[in-house]
């Protein structure tokens, strides 16, 4: 079912979004690493102006995420076979290939993405 402009302000849609956000926040709060992250705590607890000041004082908040995204994008474009076939890295033994698979195709990353898809699917129904 497609959401129209009017539907996104309907009570059932807003309630589903609110429940999804609440589930996400409670899982983040229970996560052993994320719950202790000072950047996440600042993001969730500071008001907009205070968070802007926090980001100015702690530039690593956005910088690290953008560096990781850029690195992943560069590896994907320069070595596209890493994204297509993970088994080739086992055969070649290449250090670069192993590094790329560690960044892009690791089982941990796949599990992480699968969990977030599951979170989204829980609240679509």
The 3-state DSSP class for residue 52 equals helix
Distance CA 40, CA 28 (A): 9
In the 8-state DSSP scheme, what is residue 36?
G
Q: Which residue has the higher pLDDT, 83 or 19?
A: 19
Instruction: Give the chain's end-to-end CA distance (angstroms, integer).
Output: 11
Q: Which of 24, 10, 8 is nearest to 119 (CA)?
A: 24
Lookup: tokens for 35: 């719950």
Share of the chain above pLDDT 70, in %: 52
pTM reported for the whole predicted model: 0.39
Q: Which residue has the higher pLDDT, 23 or 121?
A: 23
Q: Which of 42, 80, 69 is nearest to 58 (CA)?
A: 42
- Kindly report, residue by residue over 58-84, the tens digit of the pLDDT: 876 566 667 777 777 777 777 766 555
Q: Which of 41, 4, 17, 52 is nearest to 124 (CA)?
A: 17
């Amino acid at each position: 079912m497609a959401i129209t402009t009017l539907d996104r302000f309907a009570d059932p849609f807003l309630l589903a979004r609110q429940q999804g956000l609440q589930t996400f926040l409670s899982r983040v709060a229970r996560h052993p690493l994320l719950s202790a992250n000072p950047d996440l705590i600042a993001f969730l607890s500071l008001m907009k102006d205070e968070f802007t000041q926090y980001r100015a004082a702690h530039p690593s908040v956005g910088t690290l995420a953008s560096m990781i995204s850029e690195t992943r994008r560069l590896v994907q474009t320069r070595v596209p076979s890493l994204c297509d076939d993970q088994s080739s890295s086992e055969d070649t033994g290449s250090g670069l290939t192993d590094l790329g698979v560690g960044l892009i195709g690791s089982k941990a990353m796949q599990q992480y993405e699968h969990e977030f898809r599951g979170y989204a699917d829980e609240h679509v129904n």
